[in-house]
């Protein structure tokens, strides 16, 4: 379906939990998050029902996220069920990778199309400082289990001044011999990122560092209406791609194709506003699928034109899944 500004909305990010086994300084407070009772979180059946309604409204891609989605029980079962929905062409996962080795085989067997692995550093010490957990080895083991698997693999890195600057070339150079995408995402001033004192590094600066080291970055043009906001490039003779998500300097709101569903069942139609719909409430009030679809259609239609990142949302990144 299209919204009031004529944008085709075909991509839903579904958060399955807001708990996490890491405490990344720019995302989550050290003490973790307020515990939400199991009953307040959408059940897998409810998620599936909403996803089926989404698919009728034109959603073609679903990304499961969190918190850390692999903490949610029976995630491979959900992946398999989502893959069986008619109209859903892609089901992908964003994960920190800590539990990946335990589930990668099941997820691949369930038909998962892609994994975005968040990895800001290849240095164990920086990893522990940034995530406040000593779990770097688990992430590397998890990564090994999906390198070379038949799914799309993207590594996401948030460059932070004075923290992982030195890691940018190391991460990007993985794309020389591996058919993966390494993406650099600008730090967004949401939630803990405000108070952490951390500062992001602008995309233009990273771009120029990479060009100085690898030579010209050649744009890769992809004609895929399900593609997100990343712009991809490839240095000469590299097999993988390097992507940039330039959320601050160059807004991509004009091309935004996405909606987000929080683990508590709130449909959020823009990252930086609280606009949307309490889907859990209408699901549990006993509304029929047609009524729910109408309300969701109306909420999507009213999706805000653009984000501002100026304290306009009360949601945290671990609630909306990135
Ligand atoms: N726990 C999973 C993970 O880390 O991949 C999924 C949820 S996490 C919120 C999704 C993505 O959001 C991660 O890649 C993380 O780096 C990114 N993220 C969190 N806070 C951010 C911020 N303030 N600015 C930019 N990206 C952020
Ligand atoms: Fe957890 Fe992901 Fe947030 Fe890090 S970025 S604290 S892994 S939800």
Query: 32 or 118: which carries more pLDDT confidence?
Result: 118
pLDDT of residue 310: 55
Ligand nearest to the CA of 24: 2
DSSP letter assigned to residue 183: E
**Per-residue confidence band for 309, with pLDDT thresholds at 50, 70 and 90:** low
- Which region among 42-56, 127-141, 205-219, 235-249 has the lowest average model confidence (pLDDT)? 235-249
Minimum-distance ligand 2 atom for the alpha carbon of 28? 6
Whether 184 lines ligand 1, by a CB cut-off of 6 Å, is no
Whether 321 lines ligand 1, by a CB cut-off of 6 Å, is yes
pLDDT at 39 over 80: yes
Q: Which residue range(s) make up the domain with 181? A: 11-320
Ligand nearest to the CA of 20: 2
pLDDT at 299 over 90: yes
pLDDT of residue 291: 97
Minimum-distance ligand 1 atom for the alpha carbon of 192? 23
Spatial distance between the Cα atoms of 117 and 135, rounded to a whole number of angstroms: 14
Of all protein residues, whose CA lies closest to atom 4 belonging to ligand 2? 24
pLDDT at 67 over 60: yes
DSSP letter assigned to residue 120: -
Contacts of 30 (CB under 8 A, 6+ apart): 23, 132
pLDDT in tens, 202-248: 999 999 999 999 999 999 987 676 777 889 999 999 999 999 998 77
Establish if 1 belongs to a structural domain: no
Establish if 23 belongs to a structural domain: yes
**Per-residue confidence band for 187, with pLDDT thresholds at 50, 70 and 90:** very high
- Which region among 45-59, 141-155, 166-180, 226-240 has the lowest average model confidence (pLDDT)? 226-240
Distance 19 CA to ligand 2 centre (A): 9
Establish if 274 belongs to a structural domain: yes
Minimum-distance ligand 2 atom for the alpha carbon of 23? 6
Of all protein residues, whose CA lies closest to atom 20 belonging to ligand 1? 27
Highest average pLDDT, of 72-81, 190-199, 248-257, comes from 72-81
Domain count of the chain? 1
Establish if 115 belongs to a structural domain: yes
Establish if 5 belongs to a structural domain: no
- CA-based torsion, 33, 34, 38, 42: positive or negative: negative
Whether 67 lines ligand 2, by a CB cut-off of 6 Å, is yes
Whether 187 lines ligand 1, by a CB cut-off of 6 Å, is yes
Of all protein residues, whose CA lies closest to atom 12 belonging to ligand 1? 322
Instruction: Say if residues 15 and 91 touch (Cβ distance below 8 Å).
Output: no
Distances (CA, A) of 252 to 99, 199, 298: 32, 21, 23
pLDDT in tens, 95-126: 999 999 999 999 999 999 999 999 999 999 99
Distance 89 CA to ligand 1 centre (A): 24
CATH value at residue 81: 3.20.20.70
**Per-residue confidence band for 313, with pLDDT thresholds at 50, 70 and 90:** low
pTM of the entire predicted model: 0.94
Distance 263 CA to ligand 2 centre (A): 15
Of all protein residues, whose CA lies closest to atom 25 belonging to ligand 1? 187
- Sequential DSSP letters for 237-291: T-SSEEEEE-TTTS--GGG--EEEE-TTSEEESSTTS--EEEHHHHHHTT--HHH
Say whether 174 sits in a helix, a strand or coil: helix
């Amino acid at each position: 379906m299209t919204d009031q500004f004529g944008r085709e909305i075909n991509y839903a990010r579904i958060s399955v939990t807001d708990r996490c086994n890491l405490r990344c300084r720019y995302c989550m407070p050290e003490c973790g998050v307020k515990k939400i009772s199991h009953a307040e979180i959408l059940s897998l059946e409810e998620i599936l029902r909403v996803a089926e309604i989404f698919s009728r409204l034109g959603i073609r891609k679903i990304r499961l996220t969190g918190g850390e989605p692999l903490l949610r029980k029976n995630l491979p079962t959900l992946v398999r069920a989502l893959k069986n929905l008619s109209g859903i062409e892609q089901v992908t996962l964003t994960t920190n990778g800590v539990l990946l080795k335990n589930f990668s085989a099941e997820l691949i067997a369930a038909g998962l199309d892609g994994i975005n692995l968040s990895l800001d550093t290849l240095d164990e010490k920086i990893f522990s400082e940034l995530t406040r957990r000593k779990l770097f080895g688990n992430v590397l083991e998890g990564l090994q289990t999906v390198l070379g698997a038949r799914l799309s693999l993207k590594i996401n890195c948030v460059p932070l001044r004075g923290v992982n600057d030195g890691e940018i070339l190391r991460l990007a150079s993985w794309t020389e011999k591996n058919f993966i995408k390494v993406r650099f995402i600008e730090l967004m001033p949401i939630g803990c990122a405000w108070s952490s004192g951390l500062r992001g590094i602008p995309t233009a600066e990273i771009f120029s560092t990479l060009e100085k080291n690898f030579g010209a970055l050649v744009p890769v043009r992809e004609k895929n209406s399900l593609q997100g906001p990343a712009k991809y490039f490839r240095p000469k003779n590299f097999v993988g791609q390097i992507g940039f998500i330039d959320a601050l300097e160059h807004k991509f709101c004009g091309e935004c194709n996405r909606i987000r569903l929080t683990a508590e069942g709130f449909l959020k139609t823009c990252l930086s506003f609280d606009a949307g719909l309490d889907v859990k409430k209408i699901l549990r009030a006993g509304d029929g699928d047609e009524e729910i679809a109408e309300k969701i259609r109306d909420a999507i239609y009213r999706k805000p034109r653009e984000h501002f990142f100026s304290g306009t949302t009360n949601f945290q990144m671990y609630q909306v899944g990135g």
